[in-house]
Amino acid sequence: MTSIRLPATSTVQQDDENARVTMWHFEPGTETHGHVHELDYIVVPVTSGELTIETPDAMRHKFQIEAGQSYSRPAGVEHNVANDTDEDIIFVEIELKK
């Protein structure tokens, strides 16, 4: 999962014993870099757009998100999330600690 993209911007909005809430802003050509989710999490898209998901086995998948259409994933997910489009993409990630 190596690339030359710049990092996406993450802003932690809340972090307590129950949850960590992070706003992710992906300008065109940015990414999270490869990571593993230690906690179950929920994603709440603020904008609609197409993200590129890259997995450790070098697979690349296009993933469409829709503003206001939340989804969840379990702990252990390993991937890189990138914006290979010309539009900004923003979502809120809620990591569940309990």
Domain ranges within the chain, ordered by starting residue: 6-96
Separation between Cα atoms, residue 43 and residue 30, nearest integer Å:
18
- Which value, in Å, is the radius of gyration of the alpha carbons in the chain? 13
Q: What is the pTM of this model?
A: 0.92
Q: What percent of the chain has pLDDT over 90?
A: 94
Kindly state the DSSP code that residue 86 receives in the 8-state scheme. S
CATH number of 6-96: 2.60.120.10
Q: pLDDT at residue 2 above 60? A: no
Convert the pLDDT of each residue in 48-65 to its tens digit: 999 999 999 989 999 999
Residue 77 burial (10 A CB sphere; 0-12, 13-18, 19+)? middle
Higher pLDDT: 58 or 9? It is 9
Kindly state the DSSP code that residue 8 receives in the 8-state scheme. P
